């Protein structure tokens, strides 16, 4: 790693950090752009092995929370943008207030920095703010720097001190071997140097840390969730076929570390891949390959939208295949199956027929059933009627993405003793009275 002193010899620049040797055309002339990593004049980052011609931009992009440079951040997307004006034209309307405005975002920025600095104190096991100030002073005593705050940083320091009722800034230099005030951490170099003393997992944690706090430390918004990990987690419902298409992966082996890396502090112990469209049911060799991952299990069903679009002969063939698949190793449930009126042309009686055939198959093989229902409360009541008619009270049921009323919920949960409901963000889009 480069020395801290060398890092401090480079000042803030806003140019774009280069990412590879390539030929570009500038005013009609071809010129080769030199890779950052191969430029002997570029300083090495003290937090990672990369070399960057513009250390401030690199630190803001790769290592610091997005709000540490509020003037170059998109406040609508909560991220740093190297080309903020271009980003605004591409992703926001003229009416959106995505750029830094002290009157609109100043208080939120101060609260975010309060949260960040308090988390730094916790990580270093020091009191806040005096203990953190002493800790920063001890670190910076080893560094030769007389760096000034930029005009942009000075305006932030004044705002930070004013809203927190801290003493006003005296001078604009960061003098070595001085007692550093809390606002010194607003200078990106000081913050990077303090971060360099942390473990890598702590650095990763702070990169995405967002917690709004008052000067007194009172939380003013949702708290960041910090896992002590690794903790064991399970995913009872995911669509592997769709996931592979969206990620461009060729198989589950390319996804097997999702959610399990040390960085996430979690360990995926159990998961159920739900296959509800017969066209994407895995064949025997594919199932054998999936079974190489002990935590993966299967659920097979015929989705109601497939029932709408398939002939009776095809549905009978799918049902015969399903009877075979439920006996396959690692099959733990039948579904998704249910009712759905979201298509233009529906055949509700046919949907009910094949829903009940799958329910009967689940009962016959002592398997849980995964229920899908999309429509109004009357449709949910129709589905519940089929459940009551076909299944015993002890039937294990996962009602996936339940969106009906409190009345349907109470009736269903009062009848079936092993019924669990999956929830969905759709709840946020409906009147609260619908679910109360």
pLDDT band (50, 70, 90) for residue 79: very high
Q: Which of 66-70, 267-271, 399-403 has the lowest mean pLDDT?
A: 267-271
pLDDT at residue number 278: 93
pLDDT at residue number 10: 33
pLDDT at residue number 146: 59
Residue 83 neighbours by CB distance under 10 Å = 12
Q: Which of 2-11, 25-34, 241-250 has the lowest mean pLDDT?
A: 2-11
> Where does residue 104 rank: exposed (0-12), middle (13-18), buried (19+ CB within 10 A)?
exposed
pLDDT at residue number 25: 38
Please say if the pLDDT value at position 193 is more than 80: yes
Q: What percent of the chain has pLDDT over 90?
A: 48
36-54 residue pLDDT tens: 444 567 788 888 888 888 8
Q: What is the mean pLDDT of residues 19-26?
A: 40
Please say if the pLDDT value at position 368 is more than 90: yes
pLDDT at residue number 175: 61
**Three-class HEC string of the chain:** CCCHHHHCCCCCCCCCCCCCCEEEEECCEEEEECCHHHCCCCCECCCCCCECCCHHHHHHHHCCCHHHCHHHEECCCCEECCCHHHHHHHHCCCCCCCCCCHHHHHHHHHHHHHHHHHHHHHHCCCCCCHHHHHHHHHHHCCCCCCCECCHHHHHHHHHHHHHHCCCCCCCCECCCCCCCCHHHHHCHHHHHHHHCCCCHHHHHHHHCCCCCECCCCCECCCCCCCCCCCEEEEEEEECHHHHHHHHCCCCHHHCCCCCCCHHHCEEEEEEEEEECCHHHCCCHHHHHHHCCCCCEEEEECCCHHHHHHCCHHHHHHHHHHHHHHCCCCCEEEEEEEEEECCCCCCCHHHHHHHHHHHHHHHHHCCCCEEEEEECCHHHHHHHHHHHHHHCCCCCEEEEECCCCCHHHHHHHHHHCCEEEECCCHHHHHCCHHHHC
Please say if the pLDDT value at position 341 is more than 70: yes
Q: Which of 56-70, 89-103, 175-189, 338-352 has the lowest mean pLDDT?
A: 175-189
Please say if the pLDDT value at position 352 is more than 70: yes
pLDDT at residue number 424: 79
pLDDT at residue number 145: 61
Please say if the pLDDT value at position 360 is more than 70: yes
pLDDT at residue number 253: 65
Please say if the pLDDT value at position 2 is more than 50: no
pLDDT at residue number 179: 66
Please say if the pLDDT value at position 21 is more than 60: no
The answer to whether the Cα torsion of 166, 169, 174, 178 is positive or negative is negative
Q: Which of 130-134, 173-177, 207-211, 356-360 has the lowest mean pLDDT?
A: 173-177
Please say if the pLDDT value at position 170 is more than 80: no
Q: What is the mean pLDDT of residues 194-223?
A: 87
pLDDT at residue number 366: 96
Q: Check: CATH 3.20.20.140 for 231-435?
A: yes
Please say if the pLDDT value at position 410 is more than 80: yes
Q: What is the mean pLDDT of residues 18-29?
A: 40
213-226 residue pLDDT tens: 888 888 887 766 66
Average pLDDT, the chain: 82
Please say if the pLDDT value at position 339 is more than 60: yes
What does pTM read for this prediction? 0.50
Largest CA distance in the chain: 84
pLDDT at residue number 101: 93
pLDDT band (50, 70, 90) for residue 320: very high
371/395 Cα distance (integer angstroms): 12
Q: Which of 153-162, 227-236, 325-334 has the lowest mean pLDDT?
A: 227-236
255-304 residue pLDDT tens: 655 544 444 456 778 899 999 999 989 999 888 888 888 889 999 999 99
> In the structure encoding, which two tokens stand for residue 33, read together?
């752009």
Domain ranges, ordered by start, for the chain: 4-207, 231-435
pLDDT at residue number 338: 96
Please say if the pLDDT value at position 397 is more than 80: yes
């Amino acid at each position: 790693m480069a020395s801290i002193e060398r890092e401090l010899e480079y000042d803030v620049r806003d140019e774009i950090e280069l990412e590879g040797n390539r030929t570009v055309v500038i005013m009609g002339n071809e010129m080769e752009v030199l890779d950052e990593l191969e430029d002997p004049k570029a300083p090495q980052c003290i937090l990672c092995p990369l070399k960057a011609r513009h250390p401030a931009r690199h630190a803001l992009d790769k290592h610091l929370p997005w709000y540490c440079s509020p003037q170059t951040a998109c406040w609508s997307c909560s991220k740093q943008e190297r080309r903020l004006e271009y980003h605004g034209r591409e992703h926001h309307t003229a009416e959106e207030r995505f750029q830094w405005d002290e009157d609109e975002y100043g208080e939120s920025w101060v609260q975010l920095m309060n949260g960040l600095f308090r988390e730094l104190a916790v990580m270093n096991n020091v009191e806040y703010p005096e203990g953190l100030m002493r800790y920063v002073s001890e670190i910076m005593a080893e560094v030769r720097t007389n760096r000034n705050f930029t005009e942009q940083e000075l305006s932030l320091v004044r705002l930070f001190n004013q809203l927190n009722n801290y003493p006003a800034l005296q001078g604009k230099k960061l003098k070595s071997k001085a007692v550093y005030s809390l606002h010194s951490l607003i200078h990106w170099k000081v913050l990077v140097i303090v971060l360099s003393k942390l473990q890598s997992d702590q650095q990763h944690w702070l990169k995405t840390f967002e917690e709004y706090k008052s000067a007194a430390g009172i939380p003013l918004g949702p708290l960041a969730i910090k896992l002590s990990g690794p903790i064991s987690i399970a995913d009872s419902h995911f669509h592997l076929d769709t996931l592979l298409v969206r990620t461009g992966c060729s198989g589950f082996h390319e996804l097997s570390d999702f959610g399990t890396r040390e960085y996430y502090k979690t360990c995926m112990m159990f998961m159920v891949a739900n296959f509800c469209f017969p066209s994407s049911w895995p064949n025997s060799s594919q199932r054998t390959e999936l079974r190489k991952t002990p935590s993966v299990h299967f659920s097979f069903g015929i989705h109601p939208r497939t029932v709408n679009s398939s002939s009776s002969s095809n549905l009978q063939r799918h049902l015969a295949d399903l009877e075979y698949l439920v006996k396959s190793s690692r099959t733990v449930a039948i579904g998704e199956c249910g009712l759905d009126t979201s298509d233009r042309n529906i055949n509700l009686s046919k949907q009910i027929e094949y829903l009940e055939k799958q329910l009967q198959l689940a009962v016959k093989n002592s398997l849980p059933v995964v229920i899908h229902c999309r429509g109004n409360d009357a449709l949910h009541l129709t589905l519940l009627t089929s459940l009551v008619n076909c299944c015993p009270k002890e039937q294990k049921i996962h009602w996936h993405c339940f969106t009906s009323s409190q009345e349907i919920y109470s009736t269903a949960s009062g009848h079936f003793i092993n019924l669990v409901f999956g929830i969905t963000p759709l709840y946020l889009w409906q009147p609260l009275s619908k679910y109360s």
